[in-house]
Homo-oligomer: A and B are copies of this chain.
Amino acid sequence: MAHAKPHEPALSHGDLAGRFRAARALTEALAAPLSEADATIQSMDDASPTKWHLAHVTWFWETFLLRDHVAGYRLFDQQWPFLFNSYYEAEGKRHARARRGMITRPSLAEVLAYRAHVTEAMEPMLGREELRCLIELGIAHEQQHQELLLTDIKHALVQNPLGPAMWDGTSNSSQARERHWHAHPGGIALVGHEGESFAFDNEGPRHRVLLEPFALAGTLVTNAEWQAFIDDGGYRTASLWLSDGWAWVQANGIAAPDYWDEDKHFTLKGWQPREPDAPVTHISFYEADAFATWAGARLPTEFEWEAIAQSHDPAGGNQLDAAGPVAPLGSDSLFGDCWQFTRSAYLPYPRYQPPAGAVGEYNGKFMSGQVVLKGASCATSRGHSRASYRNFFYPHQRWQFTGLRLAKDA
């Protein structure tokens, strides 16, 4: 976890400070179109209110940088850590996750004042070399919550029968592409992160893996392909599904990706016509796996995906600015359209150890029951992802921009 990736110019302190300020500003810009009411509500336990995201990332800076590294720092408010700690047991008791939508006070304006206060208090820290890793972590953390802010508010807005839009405009159009395959001969590959550039602890240690020959699709599965799966009875054919997945389909009456309704789908620009050639999104792992079985293919392992992606890594390739999603960078949509399910369980790499202290809870304690997703979505902050990045969700969750890319044995 340090200064720079090998293949890009080393970042100076100025770069770090600039990226800090840009990240703080982007979070606020993303929240700007929302009313105080929009920013307050919580639509399900998995999602958090916008205002909570705005405050939580600020609590992260205040706690792990200002409180821990500034002598005599006084908390902005003594009671707010109880409200805005997410899941750090080492930081003490906290407000129940499922009740975050009850926090009408502090107001949005007060939370924005908190943000301004902490952002300013951080200024003298930005040049302290010994804090560089923590600051990089804080920026990455803020970026993760930028994406969650968008996926969570999308989930909140769709609850409203009026189907309100957060942004004006219409969806980008997509163009059909023939599926092509990237073959890989197998053998020993090096995966995981190493070096001085920033990465999360769960991306390392870099280590060798043994791959069998395989091929990875050069395209994402599209809405049109998914419609064909539906039309072929995919959601009614038990033999395509994992047992847990079939139980989930039956119990929840699942018959299409989330946010689909007839020929429209819900977006941050409201209800829009569905582009046939756009990548399918808002599917669960169970659906991705069933589709792959139906298609006579399979999901890649996280290592297969990474091995192909290493030669395409756009050095921070994508995706988000305050004006909304932009065209993805990176060939073959590896980064920037949607997170792509792998068949890999989210488990520790060999010799992985979580960091000491409360930040050790960041990733390690979630290593059971979840699956790894690779890539980045249209809601991922530009420069946030990389080939070694490991996103993770439970197999039934689908409120993220999740999609899939097929793989097959060679």
Name A's B-contacting residues (CB within 8 A).
35-41, 43, 51, 79, 82-83, 87, 89-90, 95, 99, 101-108, 156-157, 159-162, 164, 188, 207-210, 212, 238-239, 241-246, 285-286, 289, 343-345, 347-348, 350-351, 361, 365-369, 371, 395, 409
- Pick from B87, B99, B159, B371: contact of A243, CB under 8 Å: B87
Q: Is the pair A160, B104 in contact by a Cβ cutoff of 8 Å?
A: yes
Closest to A369 in B: B244
CA distance A367 to B245 in the complex (A): 10
Q: Is the pair B37, A108 in contact by a Cβ cutoff of 8 Å?
A: yes
Q: Is the pair B365, A104 in contact by a Cβ cutoff of 8 Å?
A: no
Q: Is the pair B348, A369 in contact by a Cβ cutoff of 8 Å?
A: no
The DSSP consensus for interface residues of chain A is mixed
A243 and B36 in contact, given A89-B238, A102-B43 (Cβ under 8 angstroms): no
CA distance A161 to B94 in the complex (A): 10
Complex contacts, A246 vs chain B, CB 8 Å: 89, 365
CA distance A321 to B352 in the complex (A): 43
CA distance A361 to B246 in the complex (A): 12
CA distance A51 to B101 in the complex (A): 16
Counting from the closest, the 3 A-B pairs by CB-CB distance are A345-B345, A102-B159, A89-B238
CA distance A238 to B91 in the complex (A): 11
Q: Is the pair B43, A107 in contact by a Cβ cutoff of 8 Å?
A: no
A365 and B241 in contact, given A160-B105, A212-B350, A347-B343 (Cβ under 8 angstroms): yes
CA distance A409 to B207 in the complex (A): 14
